[in-house]
Structure 1
Amino acid sequence: MTEGTLEIDGISKRYGAKVALDGVTFDVRAGELFGFVGSNGAGKTTTMRIALGVLAADGGEVRFGGEKITHEARTHIGYMPEERGLYPKMKVLEQLIYLAELHGLSANEAHRNAENWISRLGLADRRKDEVQKLSLGNQQRVQLAAALVHDPAVLVLDEPFSGLDPLAVDVMSGVLREKAATGVPVVFSSHQLDLVERLCDRVGIIRTGRMVAVGTVGELTSSARSKLVVTAPAARPGWAAGLPGVRVLEENGTTTVLDLDPGADDQAVLAAALATGPVTEFSRRRRSLTELFRDAVSDGAGSKEGEPR
């Protein structure tokens, strides 16, 4: 397969009366890291399983490079499920060779690729161990190797950073950046929003089966309401209470963090602060992706635990 864009176009899925996905639409471009985030039960895993052909959609279409994805095309997708998809009693090297051969690689290619990813992911000392004897973090590394061993044209990863220590997170982040740099579209879900913010080119937020935001972190956070940070050493607690269109988010010593309604006069806030004495800080602070995510999912905050994801 050549380089291309992975398109999720109007995907819908129901389980009886339960709407799991309602017209989910986004794309993951060639060479892009796309973060797919949402609360438990929002629809992330269901979307990924439909892209892989594990589930059938009730409506919509999945395309790659402008063409509807076929069974043949799906053999060129690297998939990492959130739940372990490995044979627990099979040895690491044997398992990766077997999975590579299932994707059509020759025995020599499969062995070479398996050894390469075992080395790259720091598993050389564990290559002859059964998967069930590995730590959870090392099992996660093997799972990633299984998604990469056939040199996929697309990567779809469900919670790839779950359970990893900081060193392993750095290793996996480097691998994903490297794959994207070769033109591979990479989409992954994660609850580690600080990592998504740092790593991803674009982000999609899903809530109760509907996409509520898609864009770069800069685009999403710049359109959100910013905070106003005021440091007034002589001010008494509560000095900003009652100002029109102003809500006090926190007071930490001499620093007050405020949320202003659209159209609220920040100069009136400055005047009120100056009335207490000197002001040593008066600045806007852009919201983080974590704060934006909380805002996006707070309205009907998703499904209950145990409902389809």
Structure 2
Amino acid sequence: MDMATGEFQTIDTRPLAVEARGLVKRFDQTLAVDGVDLAIPEGSIYGVLGPNGAGKTTTLRMLLGIIDPDSGTRRVLGAENPQDVARLIGYLPEERGLYPSMKSYEAIAFMGALRGVPLAEGRARGKALMEEHGLGHAIDRQIRQLSKGMAQTVQLLGTLVHEPRLVVFDEPFSGLDAINQGKLEVLIRGLADRGTTVIFSTHVIAHAERMCEGIAIIAGGRVPYAGSVETARDRIPAQVRLETRRRDGAWRAALPEDTRQVGDFWSFALPESGVEPLLKALIEGEAGVLSLSIERAGLHDAFVAIAGEAAAADMAVTEVGEPA
């Protein structure tokens, strides 16, 4: 739901893999989620974006049927009860956990068995997945013998071994170094390319901006915006950065009212009429245009405009405090 327009936005006209309306969840006297609406098309990469404690995990668990909402409706892969389609869903929780004495491929097979994959087939798939993702040398190692990044990859592969139609990751990049974050991004894009719907929660705006078609911004248990990344960024006008040889002249009257001087540059929001009339006035006034650039707002700026400075500050704190 776009709170500015009152409209419920979807990314496009593809069938919906997930739809939620008015989800509410309380824990004792705490209102954790307050009226969440979501519409997530099949085959998309969708981010649930917000600071820690905003209600992201609770929302995902309601969508998966791990917990039930106090009110509201949800439909997942066509089913009103998500548990009816559990074998079509892969879920990687934020709290990682594997049996340390299990061999790596056995851990993958075990997770597949929980989703209906026969153990023999799961073992074969587990070995193949580890080979495919550069862990062939660790197939027979116990989980306790793996590095943290390798163990996280094994659990990730266990989430995918049953070839789900919908994959839900809760803070999947948390604790990964830059190299493994990059590998995970490639894997997520590959899933979407094959038609799998991917939902992931994150408090790191850069991940959502790079990867997602659509996002839900969640703060204080509410969703002030759900829609495309592009529409979110378009909430803020593009900024024009202008450098001129001359500092004064009649051409100055053509600059918008919000123009401010930043060092040797003029900075202002792109006028609704575009930059062409201004450029014409600058040329005719012999301002001597040295450079002119137009920069679109980033998702961080859009997040601040939608969720507020406090939520953005909480995002920055959790990102800085996160382990490498």
Residue 219 (structure 2) pairs with residue 219 (structure 1): no
- Superposed CA deviations along residues 245-301 of structure 1, whole A, max 9, x for unmatched, are 5264x83x42343357999x9978997999895232334321011221122222653
**1:1-309 maps to which residues of 2 (within 5 A)?**
5-233=17-245, 235=247, 245-246=257-258, 248=260, 251=262, 253-259=263-269, 277-298=287-308, 301=311
SS of match in other structure, 1:110: helix
**CA shift in 2, pair 1:18/1:262, >3 Å:** farther
TM-score normalized with structure 2 length: 0.78
Structure 1: unaligned runs, 5 residues or longer: none
SS of match in other structure, 1:68: coil
**Residues 213 and 229 in structure 2, CA contact (< 8 A), matched pair in contact too:** yes
Distance 1:150 1:138 in 2: 20
| Worse-matched range after superposition: 22-31 or 120-129 | 120-129
After TM superposition, give the deviation of residue 37 of structure 1 in Å.
0.8
**Residues 247 and 260 in structure 1, CA contact (< 8 A), matched pair in contact too:** no
**CA shift in 2, pair 1:302/1:235, >3 Å:** closer
SS of match in other structure, 2:53: coil
After TM superposition, give the deviation of residue 228 of structure 1 in Å.
2.3
**Residues 31 and 181 in structure 1, CA contact (< 8 A), matched pair in contact too:** yes
SS of match in other structure, 2:123: helix
**CA shift in 2, pair 1:235/1:191, >3 Å:** farther
**Residues 282 and 289 in structure 2, CA contact (< 8 A), matched pair in contact too:** no
SS of match in other structure, 1:206: strand
**Residues 202 and 215 in structure 1, CA contact (< 8 A), matched pair in contact too:** yes
* Amino acid in structure 1 at the alignment position of 2:302: L
**Residues 42 and 302 in structure 1, CA contact (< 8 A), matched pair in contact too:** no
Distance 2:272 2:23 in 1: 34
Distance 2:125 2:266 in 1: 55
Distance 1:235 1:273 in 2: 14
**CA shift in 2, pair 1:161/1:280, >3 Å:** same
Distance 2:138 2:98 in 1: 15
Distance 1:63 1:78 in 2: 16
Distance 2:39 2:99 in 1: 32
After TM superposition, give the deviation of residue 121 of structure 1 in Å.
2.3
**Residues 270 and 282 in structure 1, CA contact (< 8 A), matched pair in contact too:** no
TM-score normalized with structure 1 length: 0.82
**CA shift in 2, pair 1:297/1:205, >3 Å:** same
SS of match in other structure, 2:234: helix
**CA shift in 2, pair 1:200/1:10, >3 Å:** same
**CA shift in 2, pair 1:31/1:223, >3 Å:** same
Distance 1:290 1:135 in 2: 33
- Superposed CA deviations along residues 187-219 of structure 1, whole A, max 9, x for unmatched, are 112233233222222122112111122222222
After TM superposition, give the deviation of residue 26 of structure 1 in Å.
0.9
| Worse-matched range after superposition: 211-220 or 65-74 | 65-74
Distance 2:160 2:17 in 1: 18
| Worse-matched range after superposition: 86-95 or 44-53 | 86-95
* Amino acid in structure 2 at the alignment position of 1:122: G
Distance 2:91 2:206 in 1: 23
What value does the CA root-mean-square deviation take over the aligned residues? 3.3
- Superposed CA deviations along residues 227-255 of structure 1, whole A, max 9, x for unmatched, are 2212235549xxx9xx875264x83x423
Distance 1:260 1:4 in 2: 35
